[in-house]
């Protein structure tokens, strides 16, 4: 059997011989996990200040990480987090390597039904803070690409209503650039507090 000869480019060989870049990447991911741990404490304190359902307030924060969301490393903080097949209430903070930080409100089933009226009432918050609304049928699409998400402020009333009703779930997301790293904990915490206040 003839096997294809695998060859490496000069750039690939240079990276394979250099441990420092992967060690630097590991340090960055560790710092993100530390940042998210601090952020989780601020979020937990903020959640105590609003009158959301007790099952939401009783949920615990979870930080997870991986190497391959669309080929790139990521870190996720879910809090609050209630996930079942039919019903979801979750706020997800995502660090996606080489892309951005994002904060996403994910509602499904009874939680979507319960909070939709409040979201509509406070739609200016989502518009003014550059939130995107999910427009695809893929509940687990987190990348804020133009064919899956659109800025709330760019959607007319008819299209917005369609986005609210076309799926049994609703996702609203905002993002920060990685250049905002040094302010990210403060900015994400402030967005979280304002977000849960719109649902109160």
Distance from CA of residue 8 to its chain's centroid?
Answer: 36
Domains and CATH numbers, the chain: 10-199 (3.30.930)
Contacts for 91 with CB less than 8 Å, ≥ 6 apart: 43, 78, 79, 80, 81, 103, 104, 105, 106, 192, 195, 196
**What pLDDT does residue 3 have?**
59
Q: What is the pLDDT of residues 88-99, one digit of tens each?
A: 999 999 999 999
Give the per-residue pLDDT at 1: 47
The tens digit of pLDDT for each residue in 35-88 reads: 999 999 999 999 999 999 999 999 999 999 999 999 999 999 999 999 999 999
- pLDDT mean over 132-136: 92
CA distance 52 to 199: 8
């Amino acid at each position: 059997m003839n096997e294809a000869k695998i060859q490496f480019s000069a750039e690939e060989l240079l990276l394979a011989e250099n441990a420092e870049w992967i060690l630097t990447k590991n340090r960055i991911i560790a710092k993100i996990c530390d940042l998210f741990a601090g952020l989780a404490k601020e979020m937990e304190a903020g959640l105590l200040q609003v009158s959301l359902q007790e099952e939401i307030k009783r949920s615990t924060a979870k930080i997870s990480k991986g190497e391959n969301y669309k080929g790139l490393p990521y870190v996720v903080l879910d809090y609050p987090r209630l996930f079942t097949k039919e019903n979801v209430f979750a706020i997800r903070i995502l660090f996606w390597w080489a892309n951005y930080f994002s904060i996403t409100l994910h509602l499904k089933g009874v939680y979507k039904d319960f909070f939709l009226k409040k979201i509509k009432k406070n739609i200016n918050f989502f518009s003014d803070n550059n939130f995107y609304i999910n427009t695809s049928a893929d509940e687990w699409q987190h990348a804020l690409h133009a064919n899956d998400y659109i800025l709330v402020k760019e959607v007319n009333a008819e299209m917005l209503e369609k986005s609210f009703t076309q799926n049994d779930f609703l996702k609203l997301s905002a993002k920060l650039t990685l250049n905002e790293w040094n302010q990210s904990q403060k900015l994400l915490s402030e967005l979280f507090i304002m977000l849960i206040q719109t649902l109160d």
